[in-house]
Amino acid sequence: MAFTLPELPYAFDALEPHIDARTMEIHHGKHHAAYVNNLNAAVQGTALESQSLEDLIAHVSQHTPAIRNNGGGHWNHSFFWELLAPNAGAEPEGALADAINQAFGSFSDFKTQFGQAATTRFGSGWAWLNVGADGKLFISSTPNQDNPLMDLAEHKGRPILGLDVWEHAYYLHYQNRRPDYITAFWNVVNWNKVAEHFAGK
């Protein structure tokens, strides 16, 4: 079963001015596509060909670096696109809002702490909001294309929100200003999708 590049659920320019169309076009059509192609090449002709992406990631320590990097890249970006939406940027509601307030004090404090995780991730990687084994929310970050679902993750959990802080995600528009990109991200977060993940859907 070959892995395939999912369609973006909106137009390349839908997230303007917060995330520019050219960045989205290259990010999806070149970067994400490359992870998919390289993942297919890495499993082709092996026993792993029939495994799901989730299974590959859950046991990634047993696999090659190519599967770790490209399997992670494919999962992370497929997850990320769905978390963004035009005209989003409202605040979380209901059970998700309650859980955020309980874990971080307030929505504002949550954004500050998530932003710190995203800003201080050295080099390339991701910031995450996760549900832990205890059912509570926690923030983490991972290097490169790792994620909290990987068996080798330092802090394992079930991600419900993620932010790509590789330079390819923001450099065309924001250059080295990663904090500006992180601030802009809050304008395009699809909190309905985050709430679905929180509810385990």
Nearest to 92 by CA among 186, 200, 201: 186
C-alpha pair distances (Å), 195 with each of 47, 91, 114: 36, 11, 17
146 binds Mn ion (CB under 5 A): no
> CB of residue 27 vs Mn ion: minimum separation in angstroms?
6
Report the C-alpha gap between 9 and 182 in whole angstroms.
21
Site for Mn ion in 160-199 (CB under 5 A): 164, 166, 169
> CB of residue 62 vs Mn ion: minimum separation in angstroms?
25
Per CB under 5 A, which region of 13-21, 110-118, 156-164, 181-189 contacts Mn ion?
156-164
Pairing mode of beta strands 125-131, 137-143: antiparallel
Per CB under 5 A, which region of 45-53, 87-95, 100-108, 157-165 contacts Mn ion?
157-165
Write the single-letter amino acid at 28. H
Which is closer to Mn ion, CB of 145 or CB of 190?
A: 145
Extended strands (E) in the chain: 125-131, 137-143, 158-164
Which is closer to Mn ion, CB of 169 or CB of 188?
A: 169
Closest residue to Mn ion in the complex (CB)? 164
| Orientation angle between helical segments 65-83 and 191-198, nearest 10 degrees | 120
Which is closer to Mn ion, CB of 79 or CB of 114?
A: 79
Which is closer to Mn ion, CB of 146 or CB of 164?
A: 164
3-state secondary structure of 155: coil
Which is closer to Mn ion, CB of 51 or CB of 147?
A: 147
Total of chain residues touching Mn ion, rule CB under 5 A? 3
Binding site for Mn ion (CB under 5 A): 164, 166, 169
